[in-house]
A and B are shown apart, each in its own frame.
Chain A
Amino acid sequence: MSNREDLEFVGRIQKAWGRPELSAAEAARFDRALRERMNGRARNRWGLAAALAATAAVIALVVLVPGHDKTAREGVSLVEVLGQAQEIAYGNGLSWEPTASVNETASNVWPNDYDPDAALNTLLSDEYQALAFLVSPPEI
């Protein structure tokens, strides 16, 4: 493949893909949103405690409620626990993601056709009963 053909190919991709430009209004909105985000991070340190407490409550519900296996079959699974924890964190303006180890475990335990019972069994195993593993300190 010649260099000229490389350049032509790349040129076609560039043309089709495009490059976003921000209008003056979009730039102003971007700056405003950025400033709000910066102020929000300063104000929402309390949100960490709320997110942790909410995560603990949701996990306690899953782990401690009698008949947890039945609960799993009704749809309360670790998948949803993580999702709820993330929503709670995001709702408080925190950028939170499960730790890398949880991500890895999720990908191991939950392939595309994940099994809620298997997910819940993983949660109940010794390794995962400690709440701390679920939340890595969000950057404030």
Chain B
Amino acid sequence: MGRTLPVAATANRAKAEDRESRFQKLVEDERERIVAMAYHLVGGDREAAKDVAQEAFLKAYQALPGFREEASLRTWLIRIVINQASKYRRSQALRSRLGIIQSWFSSKDNVEPAAPGPLPDRQVQEAATRARIGAALEKLSSGQRSVFALVHLEGMTVEETAAVLKKSPGTIKSHLHRALIRLRRDLADLDPGRKDE
């Protein structure tokens, strides 16, 4: 006859397994979305986005036992990645200010690294445009940037975004409006409403 575990140990093992399987499912379901959100929020640096996303999942794993399900797991995880992205940006800003050159995350540049040999003009231009958009997004306030990323780059509704950011739909719309005004100024050549002189 085999030994049976004490009830408490069995319950703890079941809890640990439940946490593991919940977390595994969360990663599989949300990995791509979270990396994409991090990408939008850290200025288009793909490697930094993966780092930030992993930190977000790590924090979620650590906090999962205490998750009280007041919001959905996805909403909760998106909040975590927004916070992690903010932390990353603050760290980058400090490094730049202090003149620290070697960076924990990969290159400061948001332009993709060049392939061997000269790139076709089109790719160079696309990379330059992405860099300009990244720079314009960086100039938005933190609230405007998050709202623009969630609504226009990730396709969330105003109501979903309001739930994630714990703000009213009216505030979300206001952020969107101001973000568009600012982006039009910085990306005038992409603006179809611009009157050419």
Contact = CB atoms under 8 A, between A and B. Distances in A.
Interface of A: 1-2, 5-6, 8-10, 12-14, 16-22, 27, 30-31, 33-34, 37-38, 41, 79, 82-83, 86-87, 90, 95, 97-98, 103, 106-107, 110-112, 114, 139
Nearest to A140: B62
A31 B27 contact: yes
Interface in B24-40: 27, 31-32, 35-36, 39-40
A9 B180 contact: yes
Given A2-B193, A22-B31, A97-B87, A13 B58 contact: no
Contacts, number: 105
B91 interface: yes
Question: SS class of chain A's interface: helix, strand, loop or mixed?
Answer: helix
Question: SS class of chain B's interface: helix, strand, loop or mixed?
Answer: helix
Interface residues of B, number: 44
Contact of A114 (B40, B54, B99, B191): B99
Given A5-B193, A110-B98, 7 more contacts: A16-B129, A18-B130, A31-B27, A38-B61, A103-B94, A106-B98, A139-B59
B46 interface: yes
B31 A98 contact: no
A95 B39 CA distance: 20
Given A5-B192, A10-B152, A14-B152, A19 B97 contact: no
B104 A90 contact: yes
Contacts of B153: 14, 17, 19
